[in-house]
């Protein structure tokens, strides 16, 4: 059974710090990985996708992928209180288009 | 970017009635749409995958006769909750696939009284 694991948190960081969110996946043939942000009472919003080993940067966000370790992470630089949300990690296996979601990590950025 | 709309955003209905929720991809054609349900402080639960022009594929434990899904066109999928009961009260979210990414609608909060 395909699984995506995330620490539920909450992860609490001070404003301006780097928030590091981690995710592991069980299916070795997973090829596409996504990070979503979900504010309380709202639907998820796609913020990053990554397909190759290494880092991918987009503004304050950096996604990191290590397929050998089956590990995906999201770094948020200069964290702001508005980044406080639940972050969902998702993985899609090759040949499938149905993502497997983790349960999400709650991030709290305090002023 | 890819935009998905959902209507209505909020609905209150009486027990025993049916409710239809629409999901539209506004700026792209979605051959595949997904329907999720999320209870408070819980993770997303995939209910079904719908492909345009064919029957939806339901996840285990989801009653297909209760949750009717119709993907009539490349931009529209509908979810009808039939004979709704209070335990069906939840946040229903659709998403649409654009190439290899999935974009979510804003969700519909259903309350059954």
pLDDT tens digits, one per residue of B38-68:
998 888 999 999 988 888 999 999 999 999 9
A28-32, B22-26, B95-99: which is most confident: B22-26
Q: What is the pLDDT of residue B53?
A: 82
CA B81-B24-A43 angle, 5° bins: 75
Smallest Cβ–Cβ distance between B43 and the set A92, A98, A104 belongs to A104
Q: Please tell me if residue A95 touches chain B, with a CB cutoff of 8 Å.
A: no
Which chain B residues are within 8 Å of A42, Cβ to Cβ? 106-107
Label residue B84 by pLDDT band (50, 70, 90).
very high
- CB within 8 Å of B112: residues ≥ 6 apart: B12, B13, B14, B15, B84, B85, B86, B87, B88, B89
Q: What percent of chain B has pLDDT over 70?
A: 99
- Asked whether residue B31 carries a pLDDT value surpassing 90, the answer given is no
The string of pLDDT tens digits covering residues A36-85 is 999 999 999 999 999 999 999 999 999 999 999 999 999 999 999 999 99
- Written as six digits, the tokens of B91 are 């946040």
Smallest Cβ–Cβ distance between B49 and the set A92, A98, A104 belongs to A98
């Amino acid at each position: 059974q395909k699984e995506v694991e995330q620490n539920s948190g909450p992860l609490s960081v001070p404003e301006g710090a780097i928030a590091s969110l981690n995710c592991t996946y069980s299916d070795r043939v997973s090829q596409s990985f996504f990070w979503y942000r979900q504010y309380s009472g709202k639907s998820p919003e796609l913020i990053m996708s990554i397909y190759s080993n290494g880092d991918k940067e987009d503004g304050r966000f950096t996604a990191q992928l290590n397929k050998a370790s089956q590990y995906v992470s999201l770094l948020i630089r200069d964290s702001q209180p508005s980044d406080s949300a639940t972050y969902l990690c998702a993985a899609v296996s090759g040949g499938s288009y149905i993502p497997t979601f983790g349960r999400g990590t709650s991030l709290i950025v305090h002023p | 970017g890819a935009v998905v709309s959902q209507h209505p955003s909020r609905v209150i209905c009486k027990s025993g009635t049916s409710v239809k929720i629409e999901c539209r991809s506004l700026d792209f054609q979605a051959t595949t749409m997904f329907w999720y349900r999320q209870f408070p402080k819980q993770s997303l639960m995939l209910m079904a995958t719908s492909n345009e022009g064919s029957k939806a594929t339901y996840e285990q434990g989801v009653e297909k006769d209760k949750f009717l899904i119709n993907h009539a066109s490349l931009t529209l999928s509908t979810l009808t909750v039939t004979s709704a009961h209070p335990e069906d009260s939840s946040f229903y979210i659709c998403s649409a696939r654009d190439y290899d990414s999935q974009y979510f609608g804003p969700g519909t909060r259903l309350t059954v009284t």
